[in-house]
């Protein structure tokens, strides 16, 4: 992992100055199931699933796995996460990132580290369990403290010929069969200062209140329903991160689930016989995903203004591209390989739009990496 991260820093050094504004580090655990009975180190989780429970620490900016730690299947998600959070922060600062942000769900809200991270200048946004005392504070908040949560949605260009909207069959079936139907009616946000047991100071706690109506068929079940509360804790100031932005950043952590699902396709499996060998397999196989990201990062947009814009879009598209899509559309291009006395010729047998992306990657990767 350290070897991969040393190479990673050399690739990062080729990026523009804006790239180093902020590093967002995320961590999450996932279950790698196996039905084998003779694999050393396996365990059973609370769902009754046998296997391993690796910890994955990623850089959200580029979706790169910085650290993968294999653990027994019965270990909690947050185990060892504080140590590897610190290692990831150190790596990002060595690379030149001016700001580091840690994100995670409620399992990774490691309160014993908050003061230390705050003193070190590390910003964090974590989810917090809806504990009774927090819910009591939220319920006692004044009505003027709550503000509507406005979520920004991408503005799509209106179609030249607008089409009629298709009916929602799922909801129709739920209503006809009398299933329990939950509908989000409104969202409101507020914040307050709160000091946790293992902390020496207060931190901002942002609460998101969701009003959900429950119906069965055409009948509403309750006239007065209790709202659902979600809590997030951060050390960011109001000037740098408004209340709404805290919730938005915490929700953006959901993309970590997509990163893990992509790693399942190439790395997060357990084909070997013990915990350590499977850990080594996961780390080595994750190089396939790393190479995909590094090839995209090595693209340096050049040429005319329109060419730079197009190449920048291709670069961003490659970074966010799924692993299977990258493999099937970019790499698996039919070609004839001709070996000559002093050269090797790759003759492409067909053309498709992804061939331009492949040639762009080839021209970028052919240049030596600058140390």
Cβ atoms of 5 and 290 within 8 Å: the answer is no
> What does the chain come to in residues?
371
pLDDT of residue 224: 67
Region 148-164 average pLDDT: 76
What would the DSSP string read from start to end of 99-166? Answer: -EEEEE-GGG--GGGHHHHHHTT-EEEEEE---HHHHHHHHTS-GGG-EE-PPP---PPPPSSPPPPP
* pLDDT tens profile 98-122: 999 999 999 999 999 999 999 999 9
pLDDT of residue 366: 78
Distance (Å, whole) CA 126 – CA 101: 10
Alpha carbon dihedral 248, 253, 259, 264, in 10-degree steps, equals: -140
pLDDT of residue 370: 55
Residue 341 has pLDDT above 90, yes or no: no
pLDDT of residue 367: 64
Instruction: Compute the radius of gyration of the chain from its Cα atoms.
Output: 24
Tokens of 160: 């030249």
Residue 369 has pLDDT above 70, yes or no: no
- Percent of residues, the chain, with pLDDT higher than 70: 96
pLDDT of residue 38: 87
- Displacement of CA 176 from its chain's centroid (Å): 37
pLDDT of residue 172: 86
Residue 222 has pLDDT above 80, yes or no: no
Q: Report the phi/psi class of residue 162: left, alpha or beta, with left for phi > 0 and alpha for psi in -120 to 50.
A: beta
Q: Residue 246: CB partners within 8 Å, gap ≥ 6? A: 125, 191, 204, 206, 232, 234, 236
Distance (Å, whole) CA 22 – CA 100: 6
Distance (Å, whole) CA 215 – CA 211: 13
- Displacement of CA 226 from its chain's centroid (Å): 31
Per the prediction, the chain carries an average pLDDT of 90
* pLDDT tens profile 22-75: 999 999 999 999 988 889 999 999 889 999 999 999 999 999 999 999 999 999
* pLDDT tens profile 356-365: 999 899 888 8
Region 235-254 average pLDDT: 91
288 three-state secondary structure: helix
Residue 155 has pLDDT above 80, yes or no: no
Of 221 and 138, which is predicted with more confidence? 138
Region 245-253 average pLDDT: 91
Other CB atoms within a 10 A radius of the CB of residue 123 amount to: 20
The partner residues of 187 in beta bridges, in order of sequence, read 210
pLDDT of residue 128: 92
Q: What is the number of alpha carbons within 13 Å of residue 181 lying toward its C-beta?
A: 18
DSSP 236: -
pLDDT of residue 167: 83
């Amino acid at each position: 992992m350290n070897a991969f991260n040393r190479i990673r820093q050399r690739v990062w050094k080729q990026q523009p100055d804006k790239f180093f504004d902020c590093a967002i580090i995320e961590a999450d655990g996932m279950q790698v199931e196996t039905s084998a009975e003779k694999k050393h180190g396996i365990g059973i989780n609370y769902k009754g699933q046998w296997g391993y429970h690796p910890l994955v620490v990623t850089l959200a900016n580029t979706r790169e796995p910085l650290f993968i730690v294999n653990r027994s299947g019965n270990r909690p998600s947050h185990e060892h996460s504080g140590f590897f959070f610190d290692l990831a922060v150190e790596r990002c600062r060595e690379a030149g990132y001016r700001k580091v942000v840690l994100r995670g769900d409620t399992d990774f809200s490691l309160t014993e580290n908050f003061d230390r991270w705050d003193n070190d200048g590390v910003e964090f946004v974590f989810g917090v369990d809806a504990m009774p005392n927090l819910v009591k504070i939220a319920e006692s908040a004044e009505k003027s403290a709550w503000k509507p949560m406005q979520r920004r949605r991408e503005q799509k260009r209106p179609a030249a010929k607008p089409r009629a909207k298709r009916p929602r069959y799922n909801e129709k079936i739920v209503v006809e069969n009398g299933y329990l139907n939950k509908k989000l009616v409104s969202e409101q946000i507020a914040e307050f200062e709160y000091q946790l047991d293992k902390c020496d100071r207060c931190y901002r706690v942002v609460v998101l209140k969701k009003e959900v109506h429950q119906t069965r068929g055409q009948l509403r079940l309750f006239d007065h329903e209790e709202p659902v509360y979600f809590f997030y804790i951060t050390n960011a100031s109001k000037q740098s991160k408004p209340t709404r932005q805290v919730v938005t950043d915490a929700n953006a952590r959901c993309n970590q689930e997509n990163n893990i699902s992509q790693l399942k396709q190439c790395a997060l499996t357990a084909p070997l016989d013990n915990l350590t060998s499977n850990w080594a397999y996961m780390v080595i196989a994750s190089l396939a995903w790393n190479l995909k990201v590094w090839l995209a990062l090595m693209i340096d947009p050049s040429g005319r203004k329109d060419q730079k814009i197009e190449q920048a879009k291709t670069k961003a598209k490659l970074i966010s591209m799924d692993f299977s899509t990258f493999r099937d559309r970019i790499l698996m291009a039919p070609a004839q390989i001709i070996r000559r006395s002093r050269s090797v010729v790759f003759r492409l047998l067909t053309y498709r739009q992804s061939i331009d992306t492949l040639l762009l990657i080839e021209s970028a990767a052919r240049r030596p990496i600058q140390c």
